[in-house]
């Protein structure tokens, strides 16, 4: 009896803690949303009773061809994800299950990429893509990211925890290497793909400097570059405009997470890896 009551107390406290933390965590974003719905003068005076306005969103939306930028961003992240998934799956499988000469050295090299800052390589990579005649294309933004150490590392760890017996069984049934990979390993790694996909999408959705440098045209540029016109420079930061632009660009991702979070978490649950 007493244990049950204690338990309920504890549960209640934990719920409270979860919510308090959630409110603290959400506060900056809520503040951001509030700012985006007000006139700059009202924001600066933090006038809670000030009238709401959607003017900032309209302004942002009309300042550039955003449907086009959304489309470009969408193509970009799709391209990156497909390439990264494919290459990381193949390489991850190699490192998890195959012995080949130079494997350990290669793996350390792959890990090194985690530590190389893409920003430092901009000038050289621009030169390479320029030689290939690919600058000012969506492909040029995506290509340097196709090989992903993070992805290879993640897939290797995941595949290593797949029981070898499953692999053996598939092979005994006559499946080749790729068939085994696709029919045994890939389904078991679904949650990892989801998590990795999410991380990768949010990185490329938000990447800015490289796309700005390697592209020139509206037809190739992603959302982030389009939104940069709202940052400051010779004049002060227009907070309402800037926050509206931020939410407008991150909006689709936030909505997607809210909509798919059930599937997202459930697939974590379904993970066959124990």
Partner 1 sequence: MKAMLKTMAIASIACATTLAALPAAAVEISFYYPIAVSGPLTKIIDAMAADFEKANPDIKVKPIYSGNYGETLAKALTANKSGSPPQVAVLVASDTLTLIDEDAVAPMDQFVKTPADKAWLDGFFPAFMMNGRYLGKTYGVPFQRSTQVMYWNKDEFKAAGLDPDKPPQNWDQLVEYGKKLTKQDASGKVTQWGLIVPSGVTSHWFLQGFTTQNQAKLTNEAGTEAYLHTPAAIEALSFWTDLARKHKIMQEGIIDTGNAPNEFIGGRAAIMFHSTGNLTNVKNNAKFPFGVAMLPERKQRGSATGGGNIYIFKKSSPEQLEASFKFVKWMTSAPQAARWGIATGYVAGRQDAWDTPEMKQYQKDFPPASVALQQLPFCAPEFETHAGPRTTKALEDAIAASLTGTKTPDKALADAQAEANRILRSYK
Partner 2 sequence: MARRTRRASRANDDEIDSPLTGWALFLPAALFLGVFTYYPAVATFFQSLFSDPKGGRAARFIGLDNYRAMLDDATFVHALVNNLWFALGTIPVSIALAIVMALLVNRALPGRALVRMSYFAPTVLAMVAVANIWLLIYAPQIGLLNAVVERLGGTPHNWLGQPDTALGGVIVVTIWKEAGFFMIFYLAALQSMPPNLAEAAALEGASRWHYFWKVTFPLLMPTTLFVMVNAVVNAFRMVDHILVMTKGGPDDASTLLLYYIYETAFRYWDTSYAAAMSMVLLAILGVVAIGQFLILDRRTHYR
CB 97 within 8 A of CB 167: yes
Q: Which of residues 145-204 bind partner 2 (CB under 8 A)?
A: 145-149, 152, 157, 160-161, 164, 176-177, 191-192, 195, 198-199, 202
Q: DSSP for 19-60?
A: HHHHHHHHHHHHHHHHHHTS-HHHHHTT-TTSPP--HHHHHH
Site mask, partner 1, residues 204-243, x = CB under 8 A? -----x--xx--xx-------x--xxxxxxxxxxxx-x--
**146 sits in which H/E element:** none
Total residues contacting partner 2 (rule CB under 8 A)? 99
Q: What is the phi/psi pair of residue 254, to 5°?
A: -65, -45
The nearer residue to partner 1, 15 or 216, going by C-beta atoms, is: 216
- Which tokens belong to 149? 């150490």
Q: Is 121 in the site for partner 1 (CB under 8 A)?
A: no
Site mask, partner 2, residues 239-258, x = CB under 8 A? x--xx--x--xx--xx--xx
Q: Is 137 in the site for partner 2 (CB under 8 A)?
A: no
Contacts of 232 (CB under 8 A, 6+ apart): 238
Dihedral, 41, 45, 49, 53 alpha carbons, nearest 10:
30
> Which member of 51, 67, 133, 174 binds partner 1 (CB under 8 A)?
133
Residue 222: CB minimum distance to partner 2, A:
11
- Which tokens belong to 18? 């979860």
Q: Is 216 in the site for partner 2 (CB under 8 A)?
A: no
- Which tokens belong to 21? 């933390």
Residue 258: CB minimum distance to partner 1, A:
31
The neighbour count for residue 5, using CB atoms within 10 Å, is 9
Q: Is 52 in the site for partner 1 (CB under 8 A)?
A: no
Residue 52: CB minimum distance to partner 2, A:
18
CB 38 within 8 A of CB 53: yes
Site mask, partner 2, residues 9-48, x = CB under 8 A? -x---xx-xxx-xxx-xxxxx-xx--x-------xxxx--
Burial of 192 by CB count in 10 Å (0-12 exposed, 13-18 middle, 19+ buried)? Answer: buried
Q: Is 139 in the site for partner 1 (CB under 8 A)?
A: no
> Which member of 4, 98, 117, 131 binds partner 1 (CB under 8 A)?
131
CA nearest neighbour of 72 among 193, 214, 256:
214
Under DSSP, the state recorded for 200 is H
The option from partner 2, partner 1, none interacting with 120 (CB < 5 to 8 A, set by class) reads: partner 2
Which residues form the interface with partner 1 (CB under 8 A)? 39-41, 43-45, 62-64, 122-123, 126-128, 130-133, 135, 209, 212-213, 216-217, 225, 228-239, 241
């Amino acid at each position: 009896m007493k244990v049950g009551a204690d338990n309920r107390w504890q549960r209640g406290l934990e719920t409270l803690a979860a919510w308090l933390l959630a409110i603290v965590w959400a506060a900056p974003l809520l503040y951001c949303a509030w700012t985006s719905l007000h006139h700059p003068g009202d924001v600066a005076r933090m006038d809670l009773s000030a009238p709401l306005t959607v003017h900032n969103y309209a302004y942002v939306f009309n300042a550039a061809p955003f449907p086009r930028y959304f489309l470009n961003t969408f193509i970009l992240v799709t391209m990156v994800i497909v390439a990264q998934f494919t290459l990381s799956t193949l390489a991850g499988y190699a490192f998890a299950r195959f012995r080949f000469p130079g494997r350990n050295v290669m793996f350390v090299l792959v890990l090194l990429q985690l530590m190389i800052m893409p920003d430092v390589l901009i000038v050289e990579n621009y030169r390479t893509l320029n030689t290939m005649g690919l600058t000012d294309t969506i492909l040029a933004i995506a290509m340097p990211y196709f090989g992903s150490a993070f992805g290879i590392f993640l897939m290797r760890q995941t595949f290593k925890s797949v029981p070898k017996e499953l692999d053996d069984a598939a092979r005994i049934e006559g499946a080749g290497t790729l068939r085994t990979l696709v029919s045994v390993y890939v389904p078991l790694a679904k949650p990892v793909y989801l998590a990795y996909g999410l991380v990768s999408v949010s990185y490329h959705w938000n990447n800015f400097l490289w796309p700005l440098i390697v592209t020139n045209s509206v037809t190739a540029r992603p959302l982030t570059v389009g939104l940069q016109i709202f940052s400051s420079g010779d004049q002060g930061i227009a907070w309402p405009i800037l926050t509206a632009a931020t939410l407008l660009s991150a909006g689709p991702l936030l909505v997607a997470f809210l909509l798919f979070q059930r599937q997202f978490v459930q697939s974590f649950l379904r993970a066959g890896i124990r």
